[in-house]
Amino acid sequence: MPGTELFGAEERKEINDVLETGILFRYNHDAQRNNIWKAREMEAEVCKVVGAKYAHAMSSGSTAAQCAMVAAGIGAGDEVIVPPFTYIATIEAALMIGALPVFAEIDETLCLSAEGIRKAITPRTKGVCLVHMCGQMADMEAIMEVIHKHNLVLVEDAGQAMGASYKGVSTGLWGKTGAYSYDFFKIATAGEGGVMVTNDEQAYKHADSYSDHGHDHIGSNRGMEQHPIVGFNYRISELHAAVGLAQTRRVPYLVEKNNEHKKWLMSRLANVPGVSFAHIPDPDGDSATFLNLLLPDTESAQAVVAELNAAGVGGFNYWFTNMYHFINQWDHIKTLRTASKLTIELLGAPQDYAQLDLPKSQEVVGRLISFGVRVTWTQTELETLANNLEAAIRKAMVAYTC
């Protein structure tokens, strides 16, 4: 968790600025706030770091992803292509706005593949919600060819990939809109928070209004503002934005150190029998928040997981059995168990979610073990981890092949 590793004086200073004014609300109260606008500063810093024209901070990465879909024009009855490997918020966001998720194949990038998207397109497809998983990025050139050919709307959920890029363009800025997460486990954290980014002015205006009950935020009297669209409350507080601001400033350093550590580990483990790595379409653009190992098959990966657990080696995820990142465990999605009726229950799901045929995704996620990269690792800690990993993998592979 790189962001949380470096909490310090910078975060405390930004929080104290807000506490001294007493204005925790991100809008209005101009006279009392002594020109302290942390949400605005956080948004400006995000634009600076990722190269976006517009950024809008809100209450979570989940609401940022939902807002990104809405601002891109995806809504009720629209089919939107999604991956089966993502934090479940991506799917929830689509369902909550009335869209109809269509699951498509990922590949060794850990993201939707161009071919997977192409095969999932139907006459009702409005767009694609592409998720950049585990700090990496999708194969954007191939995907953009499909997007343009079929005139689809692209939304990028880069919740795990702030600081990543493909050929100089940040994740989140290839499509019409994008989203980053600032929850406690991300490269930069606000405790809870998220940011929607875009280079499209109208999409930004829609996001700005949609995330605050439709307010247009024109003028200094909130009670007299106009409401160009219907919205809801996804506002970020000034306290959360204060932490997010300080953390965003750290992102370039975090990415640099992450890459140093990840590249060292990859070099150290490259010759261990049975080990390969998830494909990174642009290694220079990796945010390097995860070291993503691929074993030969699901059975060998599970054997390695068992050895790691037996040896007390922590800090990794085996997503194949993870309850909230892979479709195999999403029984409530497969059976559409809801508290109240959703649009998808009225219109019908575009796929039988309980009988999906996604062999490539099953194969890739079954082979995948991801270690969180720590920015504060010492060289001794890196060497200890590498030695423990190698020992567990070699032991598991010997047992597996016998």
User: Is residue 87 domain-resident?
Assistant: yes
The last residue of one of the domains, among 231, 250, 269, is 250
Looking at the fold, whether 296 and 396 belong to one and the same domain comes out as yes
Q: Which two tokens mark 83?
A: 């991956």
Same domain, 281 and 214: no
Do 299 and 183 lie in a common domain?
no
CATH number, residue 94 = 3.40.640.10
Q: Are residues 155 and 290 in the same domain?
A: no
pLDDT for 1 beyond 80: no
Specify whether 239 is located in the same domain as 296.
Answer: no
Number of domain units in the chain: 2
Triad 223, 227, 229: Cα angle to 5°: 155
Residue 28 pLDDT grade (very low, low, confident, very high; cuts 50, 70, 90): very high
Statement to judge: residues 121 and 84 lie in one domain: yes
38 closest CA partner among 175, 154, 182: 182
Percent of the chain having pLDDT more than 70? 99
CB 2 within 8 A of CB 258: yes
Residues 80 and 187 reside in one and the same domain: yes
Q: Where are the beta strands (DSSP E) in 3-72?
A: 54-58
CATH of the domain at 310: 3.90.1150.10
Alpha-carbon distances, residue 34 vs 37, 228, 242 (angstroms): 9, 29, 15
pLDDT band for 276, please (50, 70, 90 cuts): very high
pLDDT at 400 > cutoff 90: no
Q: Reply yes or no on whether the pLDDT at 16 is more than 70.
A: yes
Q: Does residue 348 lie in a domain region?
A: no
**Is 19's pLDDT higher than 80?**
yes
pLDDT at 269: 97
- pLDDT (average), residues 63-73: 98
User: Which residue has 């497809």 as its token pair?
Assistant: 125
Report which of residues 3 and 246 the model is more confident about. 246
Q: Is 151 contained in some domain? A: yes
Which tens digits make up the pLDDT trace of 106-164? 999 999 999 999 999 999 999 999 999 999 999 999 999 999 999 999 999 999 999 99
pLDDT at 399: 67
Q: Amino acid letter at 180? A: Y
Is 337 inside any structural domain?
no
Looking at the structure, tell me whether residues 382 and 366 fall in a common domain: yes
Mean pLDDT across 25-37: 96
Shared domain check, 82 and 69? yes
pLDDT (tens digit per residue) in 200-233: 999 999 999 999 999 999 998 999 999 999 999 9
Res 402: pLDDT = 59
Cβ atoms of residues 64 and 178 within 8 Å: no
List, for residues 311-322, the tens digit of each pLDDT value.
Answer: 999 999 999 999
* 231 in a structural domain: yes
Q: How far apart are CA 60 and CA 274, in angstroms?
A: 38
- Exposure string (b/e) for 294-331, b if CB count within 10 Å is 16 or more? bbeebebbbbbbebbeeeebeebbbbbeeeebbbbbbe
312, part of any domain? yes
Q: With bands split at pLDDT 50, 70 and 90, how would you rate the model's confidence at 386?
A: very high
187 is a domain residue: yes
Q: Which domain holds residue 135?
A: 2-250
Residue at which a domain ends, from 235, 250, 265:
250
Indicate if the pLDDT at residue 300 is higher than 80.
yes
182 and 277 inside one domain: no
Looking at every residue in the chain, the average pLDDT score rounds to 97
For the segment 164-185, the average pLDDT, to the nearest whole number, is 98
23 and 76 together in one domain = yes
Q: What is the pTM of this model?
A: 0.97
- What average pLDDT score do residues 39-47 get? 98
Residue at 81 is within a domain? yes
Helix, coil or strand: residue 85: strand
CA-to-CA distance for 179 and 371, rounded, in angstroms?
23
Residue where a domain terminates, one of 233, 250, 267 = 250
pLDDT at 398: 78
Residue-wise pLDDT tens digits, 326-349 = 999 999 999 999 999 999 999 999
Do residues 234 and 295 both lie within one domain? no
